[in-house]
């Protein structure tokens, strides 16, 4: 499950998934990084997505509809984003839950599904590698 920490005025959201694994999914099965709602007509509409842009300039990219990871944590390479704690009075945890609760919830839901996707991609990729003969 994603970890959310408040340190002073900084908010750090760390995924349980590694940035390299999310890059792998984004390359081979990008639809797996999205959550969908189904409307009254049975049409699937994306409602949340994870995006990976390593090395890009750090920007504030956390909304109820998605989260963009740009860097890995120092302790294990987990996908991580740092942003400012929202201003306001009262319990800072309530403020964070109000502003970022949708993104954190969506991230947690995808973290439950993605390990199987990562494993399947890795196995398919390895089977392709095993079929390549170098002469």
Taking the CA atoms of 114, 2, 48 and 62 in sequence, report the sign of the dihedral they define: negative
The string of pLDDT tens digits covering residues 56-72 is 665 658 888 999 999 99
**This prediction's pTM:** 0.86
For residue 86, what pLDDT band results from cuts at 50, 70 and 90?
A: confident
Q: What is the DSSP string of 12-57?
A: EEEEEEEHHHHHHHHHH-GGGGEEEEE-TTS-EEEEEEEEE-TTSP
pLDDT at 27 over 90: yes
Percent of the chain with pLDDT over 90: 73
Boundaries of every domain in the chain: 3-131
Non-local (6+) Cβ contacts of 17 within 8 A are 78, 79, 111, 114, 115, 118
């Amino acid at each position: 499950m994603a970890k959310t920490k408040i340190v002073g005025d900084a908010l750090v959201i760390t995924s349980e998934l590694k940035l390299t694994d999310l890059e792998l999914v984004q390359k081979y099965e990008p639809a797996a990084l999205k959550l969908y709602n189904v409307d009254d007509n049975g049409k699937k509409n994306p409602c949340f997505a994870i995006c990976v842009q390593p090395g890009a300039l750090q920007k504030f990219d956390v909304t109820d509809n998605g989260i963009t990871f740009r860097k890995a944590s120092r302790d294990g390479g987990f996908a991580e984003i740092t942003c400012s704690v929202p201003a306001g009075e009262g319990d800072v945890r309530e403020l964070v839950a109000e502003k970022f609760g949708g993104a954190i919830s969506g991230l947690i839901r995808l973290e439950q599904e993605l390990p199987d996707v990562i494993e399947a991609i890795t196995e398919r990729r390895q089977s392709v590698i095993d079929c390549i003969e170098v002469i």
